[in-house]
Amino acid sequence: MSAWDLYDDLIDAIPRDIMVSRAAQGPRWTRVYTESPSCGMAMTMSATSRPAQMRAEYSGVPLRAIAQLAKSWNFSEASFGMAALNSYYATPSVADEHGFALADAPWPQIFDPFRNAVAGKKVAVIGHFPFAPKALNQAADFYMLERSLNEGDYPDSAAEYILPECDYVFITGSAFVNKTAPRLLELSRESFNVVLGPSTPLAPVLVEDYGVSQVTGMVPTSPLAMFEGLSGTDAGTTMFDWGHRVELSA
């Protein structure tokens, strides 16, 4: 199995007749809007060390073609690719058809439902979630892994050593942008693993074929407001004015 299989499976489910209306990239969130209506988002990664595969004029281009950019090694372009993927999967009717249900806990309490389950267990969180340590403080061993390190974080390269020994692993959806998602899912396959965050594709194939225990992400209920509102550095704080969190479990 190739690491690209995951991306190809995500892309193959997207209909060929959906067109992109608007696309934009802010300092924090990259967004793609269609007239479905739908709005997909992905964390902006600004690295452009590799050439772009496509001119950055996405209006009128098939959504599926933009979603192919999720495989780009130009991470700024890959952010658009994942936002395009998410624009399809986060369409309310699509998410509902795929079995995603409204999640109870709001975003700052996203780890709270696992508070008792992780007691005495080894737990890893991929991505710096500042509210995770308090919610998961009953864990016997707690590791937070991050590429852009904060005080106390483990470097993301520690995943190869830590994840196979963990009972619970929480993985940020932004791992799909930087291409670490396939390996992280492989390393955590024997654990209870959760992929979470607004960059997460709401795709049942993650649960059905890739061993994910739970997928939790965002469905915009006001797609155009979401697209226009996520332009600034602090836009994530108001994201839930325009959408709600959903989840699917194995």
pTM of the shown model: 0.94
Q: How many domains does the chain have?
A: 2
Instruction: Identify the domain containing residue 63 by its residue range.
Output: 4-97
Domain boundary among 97, 120, 140: 97
- Counting residues of the chain whose pLDDT is more than 90, the rounded percentage is 83
Q: Which of 62, 97, 132 is the last residue of a domain?
A: 97
> Could you tell me if 116 and 170 lie in one domain?
yes
pLDDT in tens, 28-80: 999 999 998 999 999 999 888 888 887 878 999 999 999 999 999 999 999 99
pLDDT at 26 over 80: yes
Is residue 240 assigned to a domain? no
- Structure token digits, residue 73: 């090694």
Residue 231 lies in a domain: no
Q: Quickly state the pLDDT bin for 235 (edges 50, 70, 90).
A: low
Give yes or no: residues 79 and 161 share one domain. no
Identify whether residues 9 and 83 lie together within a single domain: yes
Residue 195 lies in a domain: yes
pLDDT digits (tens, 9 = 90+) for 189-203: 999 999 999 999 999
Digit-coded pLDDT (tens) for 120-150: 999 999 999 999 999 999 999 999 999 988 8
The CATH number assigned to the domain holding 77 equals 3.30.390.100
Last residue of a domain, one of 97, 114, 145: 97
pLDDT at residue 245, rounded to an integer = 93
Whether residue 123 is found in the same domain as residue 49: no
Looking at the fold, whether 76 and 141 belong to one and the same domain comes out as no
Q: Is the pLDDT of residue 81 over 70?
A: yes
Assess contact for 191 and 170: CB atoms under 8 A.
no
Does 72 share its domain with 121? no
Same domain, 210 and 124: yes
